[in-house]
Amino acid sequence: MSPPRTADDLYAVVLAGGRGTRFWPLSRRARPKQCVSLTGGPTMLQDTVARLSPLIPPERVLVLTGPDMAPLVREQLPDVPADNVIVEPSPRNTAPCIALAAVEVARRAGGRAVLAILPADHHIGVPADLRAVLASAREAALTTNALVTLGIEPRYPEPGYGYLQVGSEMGSWGGHTFRMVDRFTEKPDRATAEQWVEAGTHLWNAGMFVFTADAIRDAIREHLPETAMAMLELSRDPALLPEVWPQMTATSIDYGIMERSRHILTVPCDPDWSDLGAWPALTDVLPEVEGGAGLAQKVVSVDSNDCVVFAPGKAVALVGLEDCVVVDTDDAILVMARSHAQSLREVLERLDLEAPDLT
Amino acid sequence: MSPPRTADDLYAVVLAGGRGTRFWPLSRRARPKQCVSLTGGPTMLQDTVARLSPLIPPERVLVLTGPDMAPLVREQLPDVPADNVIVEPSPRNTAPCIALAAVEVARRAGGRAVLAILPADHHIGVPADLRAVLASAREAALTTNALVTLGIEPRYPEPGYGYLQVGSEMGSWGGHTFRMVDRFTEKPDRATAEQWVEAGTHLWNAGMFVFTADAIRDAIREHLPETAMAMLELSRDPALLPEVWPQMTATSIDYGIMERSRHILTVPCDPDWSDLGAWPALTDVLPEVEGGAGLAQKVVSVDSNDCVVFAPGKAVALVGLEDCVVVDTDDAILVMARSHAQSLREVLERLDLEAPDLT
pLDDT tens figures, B276-303:
999 999 998 999 999 999 999 999 999 9
Co-location of A73 and A209 in the same domain = yes
Co-location of A249 and A283 in the same domain = no
Co-location of A196 and A49 in the same domain = yes
What percentage of residues in chain B have a pLDDT greater than 90? Answer: 92
B324 at interface of A, judged by CB pairs closer than 8 A = yes
Co-location of B174 and B36 in the same domain = yes
Task: Answer whether B279's CB lies under 8 Å from B23's CB.
Answer: yes
Interface touch B25/A355, C-beta < 8 Å = no
B316 at interface of A, judged by CB pairs closer than 8 A = yes
Whether the link from the prior residue into A25 is cis, omega within 30° of 0, is yes
Of A114, A161, A184, nearest to A273 by C-alpha is: A161
Of B265, B210, B256, B236, nearest to B96 by C-alpha is: B256
Co-location of B288 and B264 in the same domain = no
B355 at interface of A, judged by CB pairs closer than 8 A = yes
What distance in Å separates residue A157's CA from the closest CA in chain B?
A: 24
Mean pLDDT of B56-79: 97
Co-location of A265 and A139 in the same domain = yes
Co-location of B90 and B134 in the same domain = yes
Mean pLDDT of A283-306: 96
Q: What confidence score (pLDDT) does residue B6 get? A: 63
For the beta carbon of residue B87, count every other beta carbon within 10 angstroms: 17
Top-confidence residue, B80 or B155 = B80
Q: What confidence score (pLDDT) does residue A5 get? A: 53
Mean pLDDT of A296-307: 97
B4 found inside a domain:
no
Indicate the number of domains in chain B. 2
A102 found inside a domain:
yes
pLDDT, tens digit, 9 for 90 and up, residues B172-219: 999 999 999 999 988 899 999 999 999 999 999 999 999 999 999 999
Q: What confidence score (pLDDT) does residue B13 get? A: 98
pLDDT at residue A116 greater than cutoff 70: yes
**Helices B225-236 and B94-109 meet at what angle, rounded to 10?**
40
What distance in Å separates the CA atoms of residue A35 and residue A78, rounded to the nearest whole number? Answer: 14
Chain B neighbours among A 19-48 (CB < 8 Å)?
Answer: 24-25
Sign for the CA dihedral angle at B154, B155, B157, B161 comes to negative
Of A180, A206, A210, nearest to A277 by C-alpha is: A206
For B359, nearest residue in chain A (alpha carbons): A315
B3 found inside a domain:
no
Co-location of B320 and B254 in the same domain = no
What distance in Å separates residue A24's CA from the closest CA in chain B?
A: 10
| Boundary residue ending a domain (B274, B298, B321) | B274
A4 found inside a domain:
no
What distance in Å separates residue A354's CA from the closest CA in chain B?
A: 10
Interface touch B321/A318, C-beta < 8 Å = no
Interface touch B358/A298, C-beta < 8 Å = yes
Task: Answer whether B223's CB lies under 8 Å from B249's CB.
Answer: no
Q: What confidence score (pLDDT) does residue B262 get? A: 87
What percentage of residues in chain A have a pLDDT greater than 70? Answer: 98
Co-location of A233 and A115 in the same domain = yes
Of A25, A302, A315, the CB nearest to B346: A302
A253 at interface of B, judged by CB pairs closer than 8 A = no
Residues of B in contact with A312 (CB under 8 A): none
pLDDT at residue A1 greater than cutoff 80: no
Residues of A in contact with B311 (CB under 8 A): 333
Top-confidence residue, A58 or B263 = A58
Q: What confidence score (pLDDT) does residue A3 get? A: 44
Mutation test of the interface with chain A: which of B27, B298, B300, choosing the one with the most A Cβ atoms within 10 A?
Answer: B300
Full 3-state SS string of chain A: CCCCCCCCCEEEEEECCCCCCCCCCCCECCECHHHCCCCCCCCHHHHHHHCCCCCCCHHHEEEEECCCCHHHHHHHCCCCCHHHEEECCCCCCHHHHHHHHHHHHHHHHCCCCEEEEEECCCEECCHHHHHHHHHHHHHHHHHHCCEEEEEECCCCCCCCCEEEEEEEEEEEECCEEEEEEEEEEECCCHHHHHHHHHHCCEEEEEEEEEEEHHHHHHHHHHHCHHHHHHHHHHHHCHHHHHHHHHHCCCCCHHHHHHCCCCCEEEEEECCCEECCCCHHHHHHCCCEECCEEEEEEEEEEECCECEEEEEEEEEEEEECCECEEEEECCCEEEEEEHHHHHHHHHHHHHHHHHCHHHC
| Boundary residue ending a domain (A258, A274, A290) | A274
Strands B202-212 and B162-173: antiparallel
Mean pLDDT of A286-299: 96
For B319, nearest residue in chain A (alpha carbons): A336
What distance in Å separates the CA atoms of residue A184 and residue A197, rounded to the nearest whole number? Answer: 15
What distance in Å separates residue A320's CA from the closest CA in chain B?
A: 5
Task: Answer whether A61's CB lies under 8 Å from A16's CB.
Answer: no
Q: What confidence score (pLDDT) does residue A303 get? A: 97
B27 found inside a domain:
yes
B348 at interface of A, judged by CB pairs closer than 8 A = no
B2 found inside a domain:
no
Domain that holds residue A127: 10-274
pLDDT band of B5, cuts 50, 70, 90: low
Residues of A in contact with B297 (CB under 8 A): 331
Taking only Cα atoms into account, the Rg of chain A, rounded to an integer number of angstroms, comes to 21
Mean pLDDT of B83-93: 96
The single-letter code of the amino acid at A346 is E
Residues of A in contact with B303 (CB under 8 A): 340, 343
Top-confidence residue, A277 or B52 = B52
Strands A273-274 and A123-124: antiparallel
Mean pLDDT of B9-19: 94
Mutation test of the interface with chain B: which of A26, A300, A342, choosing the one with the most B Cβ atoms within 10 A?
Answer: A300
Top-confidence residue, B31 or A103 = A103
* B179 φψ region: left (φ > 0), alpha (ψ -120 to 50), beta (else): beta
Q: CA B60 from chain center: how many Å? A: 18
What distance in Å separates the CA atoms of residue B130 and residue A13, rounded to the nearest whole number? Answer: 72
Mutation test of the interface with chain B: which of A333, A338, A353, choosing the one with the most B Cβ atoms within 10 A?
Answer: A333
Co-location of B128 and B159 in the same domain = yes
Q: B142 Cβ partners below 8 Å, 6+ apart?
A: B112, B114, B212
pLDDT, tens digit, 9 for 90 and up, residues A215-272: 999 999 999 999 999 999 999 999 999 999 999 999 999 999 999 998 899 999 999 9
Q: What confidence score (pLDDT) does residue B215 get? A: 98
- Residue ranges of alpha helices (H) inside chain B are 44-50, 70-76, 94-109, 127-144, 190-199, 213-223, 225-236, 241-244, 253-256, 344-354
A5 found inside a domain:
no
| Boundary residue ending a domain (B241, B259, B274) | B274
Of B24, B321, B354, the CB nearest to A335: B321
B352 at interface of A, judged by CB pairs closer than 8 A = no
A352 at interface of B, judged by CB pairs closer than 8 A = no
Of B297, B315, B335, the CB nearest to A326: B335
What percentage of residues in chain B have a pLDDT greater than 70? Answer: 98
Q: What confidence score (pLDDT) does residue B7 get? A: 81
Co-location of A233 and A317 in the same domain = no
CATH number for the domain harbouring residue A28: 3.90.550.10
B241 found inside a domain:
yes
A343 at interface of B, judged by CB pairs closer than 8 A = yes
Q: What confidence score (pLDDT) does residue A20 get? A: 73
pLDDT, tens digit, 9 for 90 and up, residues A119-170: 999 999 999 999 999 999 999 999 999 999 999 999 999 888 999 999 999 9
What distance in Å separates the CA atoms of residue A223 and residue A147, rounded to the nearest whole number? Answer: 14
Q: What confidence score (pLDDT) does residue A21 get? A: 81
Top-confidence residue, A218 or B5 = A218
pLDDT, tens digit, 9 for 90 and up, residues B158-173: 888 999 999 999 999 9
B343 at interface of A, judged by CB pairs closer than 8 A = yes
Residues of B in contact with A353 (CB under 8 A): none
Co-location of B104 and B194 in the same domain = yes
Interface touch B335/A316, C-beta < 8 Å = yes
ipTM field: 0.89
Q: What confidence score (pLDDT) does residue B21 get? A: 81
A305 at interface of B, judged by CB pairs closer than 8 A = no
Chain A neighbours among B 86-145 (CB < 8 Å)?
Answer: none
Q: What confidence score (pLDDT) does residue A18 get? A: 84
pLDDT at residue B4 greater than cutoff 50: no
Interface touch A346/B321, C-beta < 8 Å = no
Residues of B in contact with A290 (CB under 8 A): none
Strands B61-65 and B10-15: parallel
B56-61 long-range CB contacts below 8 Å, 24 or more apart?
A: B56/B7, B56/B10, B56/B11, B56/B12, B56/B116, B56/B134, B58/B84, B59/B84, B60/B8, B60/B10, B60/B11, B60/B12, B61/B11, B61/B12, B61/B14
Residues of B in contact with A27 (CB under 8 A): none
Interface touch A321/B337, C-beta < 8 Å = yes
Q: Work out the angle at residue B137's Cα, subtended by the Cα atoms of residues B116 and B238, and round it to the nearest 5 degrees.
A: 30
